[in-house]
């Protein structure tokens, strides 16, 4: 079950809110936890046991850290809790690709080195592990106090708005709200508005681009126009799909009384690759910076060479976190690590370039990296890159031409306008009726209503970050 589905909108959400707001305030975390576990079990009940087990391990480890008077025991307990979480993630995420790589290297199609049954990645596992890791580190540092009530801590980990695909919510952000929160009509209305906008972003912009993207990335010899059409469509699709989900999650959090950190800030308007990572998946970027780049690797404290190595390692690990179906995500991380290192070296030498050129170059690097991120394997990525550099011809192929239906043109046009609009003066001054308070109030309702009509006629594809 996903947010952009009729079963969520017409069944789960109304029933959950009815129980949630009828529950006395002191028991609402219980209702939230039960609802979140039911939301997860809707997909597959057996993996709910894994999420509960990791929650229990993390909860007990934090209590042991809090109760221990030995700094060594505190550190070892933290490390043990983190390793258990990471080991579960590594097994489900990377076992298949490691075995496949070994069979490719040392086996054959007739006689594989390892006879293997596919391991399926449970949804929400990646984000659960990040939440658990940051919580244990923060308890060890004394940034937050260990939560002794299992129901409260489990509600934090399993909270259905951010459970599946973020945003990553650090415990300290909602620690007070877990203890006590009050209903606010204004915040609830703001949450509804954000949810409606995110829903429209997903259904009206991201979803119509999905068939075109799938078609182009399966092409055996995409032309220059084909490849860039597919890459451009995926660039728009991924943003509006993931940013739309994040906005829906933030909106749901507000409806429940929680304030989540924002996750996107017009990333395709970034003036540099560093700026891109301050704007894209912001909760992940700050997590990688605080818990990996600075805390574990040392950041930029040990000279320039070590700084470049740390940047590469951070982004490579960030790439590995994204997926284990192939090594493409690792390559994607290395591309971004290399870009960050080159940009840092360029800046340290005192070089500059005009903002327009810098923005264009940044977007080009991001889009080329999205190619390997989306491709089914490295050979498929090489094929797409070949097309993007004109190695398979220039003109648009018949298959892509036939796939460009009017809805795709509209989705692309609206998506591009929404991306460019924040940089325009009109975004601040308004434009006739479109700058009025009335229009700002009603357009999310109209967009949501139209998206709901569209959704009734077709199933919405799963969110792209649904099973990362």
DSSP secondary structure string, 385-452? HHHHTTBTBSSPPHHHHHH--HHHHHHHHHHHHHHHGGGSTHHHH--GGGGSHHHHHHHHHHHHHHHH
> If you ran DSSP here, which 8-state letter would residue 10 be given?
I
Structure token digits, residue 92: 């489900």
Structure token digits, residue 410: 């509209």
State the Cα–Cα distance between residues 137 and 157, nearest whole angstrom.
15
pLDDT band at 295 (very low <50, low <70, confident <90, very high): very high
Delimit the domains of the chain by residue range.
6-181, 187-457
Q: At what angle do helices 28-41 and 150-158 cross, to 10 degrees?
A: 40
Q: At what angle do helices 224-256 and 406-420 cross, to 10 degrees?
A: 60
pLDDT of residue 434: 54
Task: Kindly name the residue from 131, 162, 281, 322 that is annotated as catalytic.
Answer: 322
Cβ contacts of 455-460, under 8 Å, gap ≥ 24: 455/4, 455/5, 455/6, 455/203, 456/6, 459/5, 460/2, 460/4, 460/5, 460/202, 460/203, 460/207
| pTM beyond cutoff 0.85 | yes
Contact by Cβ (8 Å): 418, 443: no
Q: What's the mean pLDDT in 434-459?
A: 83
State the Cα–Cα distance between residues 312 and 325, nearest whole angstrom.
21
Q: Which residues pair with 393 in a beta bridge?
A: 391
Percent of the chain with pLDDT strictly greater than 70: 96
State yes or no: is 322 an active-site residue.
Answer: yes
pLDDT of residue 266: 94
Residue 105 pLDDT exceeds 90: no
Assess whether the previous peptide bond of 248 is cis (omega < 30° from 0). Answer: no
Render pLDDT for 410-425 as a digit per residue (tens, 0 to 9).
999 999 988 888 877 6
- Exposure of 97 in the CB half-sphere (CA atoms within 13 A): 17
Render pLDDT for 113-128 as a digit per residue (tens, 0 to 9).
888 888 888 989 999 9
What φ, ψ does residue 391 adopt, rounded to 5°? -80, -10
Render pLDDT for 351-383 as a digit per residue (tens, 0 to 9).
989 999 999 999 999 999 999 999 999 999 999
Radius of gyration of the chain (CA): 23
State the Cα–Cα distance between residues 251 and 246, nearest whole angstrom.
8
In 68-184, alpha helices (H): 71-106, 125-141, 150-158, 160-163, 171-179
SS3 12: helix
């Amino acid at each position: 079950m996903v947010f952009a589905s009729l079963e969520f909108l017409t069944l789960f959400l109304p029933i959950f809110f009815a129980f949630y707001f009828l529950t006395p305030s002191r028991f609402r975390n219980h209702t939230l936890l039960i609802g979140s576990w039911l939301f997860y079990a809707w997909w597959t009940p057996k993996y709910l046991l894994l999420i509960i087990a990791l929650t229990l391990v993390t909860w007990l480890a934090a209590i042991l850290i809090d109760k221990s008077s030995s700094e060594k025991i505190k550190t070892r307990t933290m490390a043990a809790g983190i390793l258990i979480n990471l080991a579960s993630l590594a097994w489900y995420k990377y076992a298949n690709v490691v075995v496949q790589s070994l069979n490719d290297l040392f086996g054959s199609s007739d006689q594989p080195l390892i006879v293997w049954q596919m391991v399926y990645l449970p949804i929400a596992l990646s984000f659960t592990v990040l939440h658990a890791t940051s919580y244990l580190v923060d308890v060890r540092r004394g940034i937050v106090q260990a939560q002794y009530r299992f129901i409260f801590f489990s509600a934090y980990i399993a909270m259905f708005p951010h459970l599946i695909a973020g945003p990553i919510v650090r415990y300290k952000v909602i620690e007070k709200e877990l203890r006590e929160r009050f209903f606010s009509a204004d915040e609830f209305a703001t949450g509804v508005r954000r949810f409606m906008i995110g829903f429209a972003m997903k259904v009206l912009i991201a979803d119509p681009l999905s068939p075109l993207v799938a078609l182009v990335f399966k092409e055996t010899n995409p032309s220059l126009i084909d490849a860039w059409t597919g890459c451009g469509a995926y660039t728009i699709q991924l943003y509006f799909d993931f940013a739309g989900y994040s906005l829906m999650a933030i909106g749901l959090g507000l409806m429940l009384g929680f304030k989540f950190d924002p996750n996107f800030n017009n990333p395709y308007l970034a003036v540099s690759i560093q700026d891109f990572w301050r704007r894209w998946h912001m909760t992940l970027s700050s997590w990688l910076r605080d818990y990996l780049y600075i805390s574990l690797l040392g950041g930029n404290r040990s000279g320039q060479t070590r700084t470049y190595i740390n940047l590469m390692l951070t982004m490579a690990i960030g790439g590995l976190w994204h997926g284990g179906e192939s090594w493409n995500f690792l390559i994607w991380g290395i591309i971004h690590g290399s870009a960050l290192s080159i940009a840092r070296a360029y800046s340290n030498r005192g070089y500059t370039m005009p903002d327009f050129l810098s923005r264009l170059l940044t977007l080009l690097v991001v889009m080329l990296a999205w190619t390997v991120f989306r491709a089914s394997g490295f050979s498929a990525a090489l094929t797409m890159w070949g097309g993007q550099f004109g190695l398979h011809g220039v003109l648009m192929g018949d298959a892509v031409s036939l796939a460009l239906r009017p809805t795709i043109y509209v989705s692309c046009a609206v998506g591009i306008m929404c991306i460019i609009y924040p940089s325009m003066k009109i975004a601040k001054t308004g434009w006739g009726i479109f700058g009025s308070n009335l229009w700002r109030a009603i357009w999310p309702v109209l967009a949501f209503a139209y998206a709901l009509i569209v959704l009734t006629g077709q199933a919405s594809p799963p969110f792209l970050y649904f099973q990362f």
